[in-house]
């Protein structure tokens, strides 16, 4: 969907237009300025400061422990680095479920303190009034249904959602999200025929995270996609690079060069150029 000049910002209406035009939307997570800048320069449509930062950046087993303040700090660093892409911040577990008012208050914090362009939260029917409260205040909301990692203890693991009878519930959730005014919805780990059905029925774009090729766009956790993560890669991830391997090899070379004396050279050091030409350490 990059038919606009380089530094024209992506807005929510671009996503709606992309769906109408059949242009696929691309997204990646980002947690810091350095990676976000690279994705933006490459032309990504949106970056998500995912609460997957809990796993990827902070080393937790689940997304549940990450705090609002932690994600706001990351979100702010991404916003500073990005010139063109649309920036969406995840609302962490516990920061929006209590009430529509809590959801709005947390969303306002993200918009004010990190200057993200939109927020994302998990759930369909159960958070319909939360989504409505946020969008009515002028903050764009992206929803997230299917496998919702913040309820993984309830769902019983990383389990595909929307199979069999689950398909009707998923459609109900998707309809509630559209009704409530969300501009986009993430479908995570949903069978591709069910995701196709949701995509067809909704007027807002659907973004696949392991929901097959028939959605309006794709999103992955960047460290999975570029081989910079630890642990198992989900089946829906295609690995486009081995950044951990590149970094490991370069680190070994660096250590070798330090040990052999090859690094640093004189050219990588400073001469003493005192005006009287004399060194304090001798003639
Ligand atoms: N690094 C990372 N990548 C993700 O995609 C991701 C996170 N973290 N954290 C939050 C959630 C959790 N997600 C996950 C995590 C694991 C699987 C996984 O291992 N899936 C297996 C099958 C399920 C299983 O047996 O556990 C697969 O092969 O797809 C899938 C999605 C998606 N999100
Ligand atoms: C995987 C995406 C959808 C996400 O919610 C995250 O990265 O936290
Ligand atoms: Mg998330």
Which residue's alpha carbon is at the smallest distance from atom 19 of ligand 1? 234
Residues 208, 219: contact at Cβ < 8 Å? Answer: yes
232 pLDDT tier (thresholds 50, 70, 90): confident
β-partners of residue 207 are 186, 217
SS3 218: strand
| Ligand 2 pocket list (CB less than 6 A) | 29, 48, 50-52, 90, 144, 186, 188, 209, 219, 221
Residue 244 in tokens: 């951990």
- Indicate if ligand 1 lies below 6 Å from the C-beta of 55: yes
pLDDT by residue (tens digit) across 154-184? Answer: 998 888 999 999 999 999 999 999 999 999 9
Residue to substitute in 161, 186, 206 for testing ligand 2 pocket (most ligand atoms within 8 angstroms of CB): 186
Pocket residue to mutate for ligand 1, from 53, 158, 163, most atoms within 8 A of Cβ: 158
The closest alpha carbon to 30, from 89, 106, 95, 70, belongs to 89
Atom 15 of ligand 1: nearest residue by CA position: 158
Q: Which is more confidently placed, 3 or 231?
A: 231
Q: What pLDDT sits at residue 283?
A: 61
User: 192 is written with which tokens?
Assistant: 């591709």
Q: What is the tens place of the pLDDT at every residue in 81-99?
A: 999 999 999 999 999 999 9
Cα 149 to ligand 3 centre (Å): 7
Supply 35's token pair.
């990676």
Ligand 3 centroid–CA 50 distance in Å is 5
> Residue 115: left if φ>0, alpha if ψ -120 to 50, beta else—which one?
left
**Which residue has the CA at smallest separation from atom 17 of ligand 1?**
234
Q: Greatest CA span in the chain, whole angstroms?
A: 88
Output the DSSP codes for 78-116.
HHHH-SSSEEEEEPPTTSSSS-HHHHHHHHHHIIIII--
Q: Determine the straight-line distance between the first and last CA of the chain, rounded to whole angstroms.
A: 67
Is residue 149 within 6 Å of ligand 1 at its C-beta? yes
The DSSP H or E segment spanning 48 is strand 46-49
Q: Which residues are catalytic?
A: 188
User: Considering only CA atoms, which residue is closest to atom 33 of ligand 1?
Assistant: 52
Q: Is residue 227 lining ligand 1, measured as CB closer than 6 Å?
A: no
Q: At which residue do the structure tokens 């999200």 appear? A: 177
Q: Using CA atoms, how far apart are residues 120 and 143, in angstroms rounded to an integer?
A: 6
Is 51 labeled as ligand-binding?
yes
Q: How many helices (H) and strands (E) does the chain have?
A: 11, 8
Q: Against a cut of 0.90, is the pTM above it?
A: yes
**Separation of CA 52 and ligand 2 centre (Å):** 6
% the chain with pLDDT above 90 = 89
Q: Whole-angstrom Cα distance, residue 156 to residue 170?
A: 17
């Amino acid at each position: 969907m990059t038919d606009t000049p380089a530094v024209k910002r992506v807005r929510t209406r671009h996503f709606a237009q992309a769906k109408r035009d059949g242009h696929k939307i691309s997204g990646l997570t980002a947690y810091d300025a350095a990676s976000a800048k690279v994705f933006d320069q490459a032309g990504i449509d949106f970056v998500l400061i995912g609460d997957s930062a809990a796993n990827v950046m902070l080393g937790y087993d689940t997304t549940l422990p990450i705090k609002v303040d932690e994600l706001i700090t990351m979100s702010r660093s991404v916003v500073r680095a990005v010139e063109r892409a649309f920036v969406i911040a995840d609302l962490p577990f516990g920061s929006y479920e209590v009430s529509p008012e809590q959801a709005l208050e947390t969303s306002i914090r993200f918009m004010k303190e990190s200057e993200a362009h939109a927020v994302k939260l998990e759930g369909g029917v159960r958070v319909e009034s939360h989504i409505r409260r946020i969008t009515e205040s002028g903050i764009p909301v992206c929803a997230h249904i299917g496998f919702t990692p913040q309820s993984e203890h309830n769902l019983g693991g990383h389990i595909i959602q929307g199979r069999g009878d689950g398909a009707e519930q998923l459609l109900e959730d998707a309809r509630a999200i559209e009704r409530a005014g969300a501009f986009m919805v993430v479908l995570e780990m949903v069978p591709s025929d069910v995701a196709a059905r949701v995509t067809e029925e909704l007027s807002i774009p659907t973004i696949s995270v392991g929901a097959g090729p028939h959605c309006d766009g794709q999103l992955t956790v960047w460290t999975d996609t570029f081989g910079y993560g630890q642990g198992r890669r989900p089946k829906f991830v295609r690995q486009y690079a081995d950044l951990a391997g590149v970094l490991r090899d370069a680190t070994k070379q660096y250590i070798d060069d330090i040990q052999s004396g090859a690094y640093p050279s004189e050219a990588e050091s400073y001469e003493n150029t005192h005006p009287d030409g004399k060194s304090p350490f001798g003639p």
